[in-house]
A and B are shown apart, each in its own frame.
Chain A
Amino acid sequence: MEWAVSLDKINFSYGDKEVIKDLSCQLALSNIYTLLGENGAGKTTLIKLLLGRLSPLSGQISILGHKPGSQAVKGCVGAMLQVGALPSNIRVIEYIHLFQSYYDSPMSWQGALQFAELEKQKTTFFGQLSGGEKQRLLLSLALIGQPKLVFLDEPTLAMDVHMRQRLWQKVVQLKERGTTVILTTHNLQEVESVTDQVLVLRDGEIVAQGTPSQLKSHLQRSELRFFSDKSEVKIKSLLPNFMVHKEGQKIYIATDDAPKVISLLRQHSVAMHDLSVTPLSLTQAFIDITRGKLP
């Protein structure tokens, strides 16, 4: 079976600091993968290793059956990285023509503009685009070579809600066309519905991998939400072994035994208005996993 990405016992260090530790995994073709991890977990380093910008100290990496960074790979991989700024006095269409010239069978310039929804900004200088428009152009440049594998690093940054929705639709379309997508994001709610697999990195290791629902079900936790007249401190003192936090006037409690928590709070006469028990969100699963509360 050909894998989009195959990692075999990869190790990488910056000086004496180990950033990636014995990391192994295989990512299948035509899937959407989300890399999750707190800052410093090794996500950026891993992406740089996959793009061939760094070489592992030991272990093997294969991208679409080739060595990362080789010319064979570069022609069929696209990447949307977090770029501070492109030269501001180059026009949108000029960037598109430039990136078209890199590939043997690129998307047409009309197609690229349409994909980025920048037809009206065709002759606009990069410096005059809005944050969202810049992101869309970068996405379009990443996809202009019609890659088999694409890396999207925080693709929805600076995009409005409608644009985000359309972007995720486009990501799903990419998958349907056979493209493998590897993305990083901090907005887990958004990717929950589009991603096939989530890989959670902690200290350079994959500590959890699975579909969003698998990750959540492994934790078998749910979240209680209610309004209360009691303070967060008071509730925490009643439930010392639970994760309690308050946002606005609403109390959130993560638990694997919701009836027990409700009963306990009632025993202590804690009024719970608009009480709801919802399955654990991917965000909460991620927090639990990265803080060491593994299933």
Chain B
Amino acid sequence: MKTEFNSLFIEAKLDLLCGLRTPSFAVPTLVFPVLLYLFFGVFMMHGKQQGNDEVSIYTLVNYLVFGLMAPALFSFGANVAQERESGWLELKLISPLPPLYYLFAKCLSALIFTLLIAVLLFSTAWLAGAVHISLLAWAKLLALGLAGTFPFCFLGLAIGLKFSAKGAMAITNLVFLPMAMLSGLWVPIFLMPEFLQQFAWILPSYHLSQLGLSIVGLGQGYSIFFHLIALSLISIIFAVIAAALYQSQGMPVRKRHRP
């Protein structure tokens, strides 16, 4: 058991290092949410008195959700597809490493990215955005961010297992950007045309941002339980699809008897 946990720890560490040592991945992942928050949540509000705090907090929550989506989706989506195609995943699956540890390690790595993004965003919000919420609210936002990473891990995994490396990268981008937009992470959802607003119901990022906004008292009126149930259901669907695809990696042809 000790060896297995050691494997899990090293797997997660290498996955994290792999991400951090790839500037084209690490820099946008860690810096973009902070830059966007600074632009929309701090600089754009400069000089405006009314509702300054609310906009800054609203923006903070949305960019936290936006920030945590990228490492989870891309670490699983594009990377799993690449590792599957190159044979690296195959080497792991024939090793004594329990098959799920590969996924646990990637989840751990995505969680650490979420933690880093949250720390960067929270520090920026506290120092530059003058966001002053209770310690409990900060803690709840962090916990929500960490828990909210999982549905995107499952979705990314499903993409990574279903598509080729090149295809997975394109599909992940195709999912990531519209999902952020249609969830109201960039533009408040009520400013969008009504037919576009309907998509938000099926998007985990929307329910996650609404849960975050509820923590800081800026929810849109639906109950926390509604969003919790919706997010849980979506996560379960993604997890079931990902599990089925993962299972299929070990058994491409169903067992059948010869005639």
Using a Cβ cutoff of 8 Å, how many contacts connect chains A and B?
83
CB-CB < 8 A to B88: which residues of A?
A: 83, 85-87
Q: Which of B152-160, B207-215, B249-257 contacts A (4 or more CB under 8 A)?
A: B249-257
Taken together as a complex, chains A and B put the C-alpha atoms of A54 and B253 apart, in Å, by 8
A82 located at the interface, meaning its Cβ lies under 8 Å from any Cβ of chain B in the complex: yes
A79 located at the interface, meaning its Cβ lies under 8 Å from any Cβ of chain B in the complex: yes
Q: Given A13-B253, A57-B256, A98-B10, do A86 and B95 touch, yes or no (CB 8 Å)?
A: no
B170 located at the interface, meaning its Cβ lies under 8 Å from any Cβ of chain A in the complex: no
Taken together as a complex, chains A and B put the C-alpha atoms of A82 and B88 apart, in Å, by 10
Min C-beta distance of A63 to chain B, whole Å: 12
Interface residues of A in 11-40 (CB under 8 A from B): 11-15
A90 located at the interface, meaning its Cβ lies under 8 Å from any Cβ of chain B in the complex: yes
A53 touching B94 by the CB < 8 A rule? Answer: yes
Taken together as a complex, chains A and B put the C-alpha atoms of A148 and B198 apart, in Å, by 59
For B8, give the chain A residue with the smallest CB separation: A101
A104 touching B3 by the CB < 8 A rule? Answer: yes
Interface residues of B in 74-102 (CB under 8 A from A): 83, 85-88, 90-91, 93-97
Cross-chain contact of A83 among B10, B87, B96, B255 (Cβ < 8 A) = B87
Cross-chain contact of B83 among A87, A89, A94 (Cβ < 8 A) = A87
B192 located at the interface, meaning its Cβ lies under 8 Å from any Cβ of chain A in the complex: no
Q: Which residues of B contact A (CB under 8 A)?
A: 3, 6-7, 10-11, 14, 17-18, 21-22, 83, 85-88, 90-91, 93-97, 250-253, 255-258
Q: Which residues of A contact B (CB under 8 A)?
A: 11-15, 51-55, 57-58, 69, 71, 74-75, 77, 79, 81-87, 89-90, 94, 97-99, 101-104, 141, 145
Given known contacts A58-B258, A81-B90, what 12 new A-B pairs fall within 8 Å (CB)? A14-B252, A53-B250, A55-B251, A57-B257, A75-B96, A83-B88, A89-B22, A90-B14, A90-B17, A97-B10, A98-B10, A103-B96
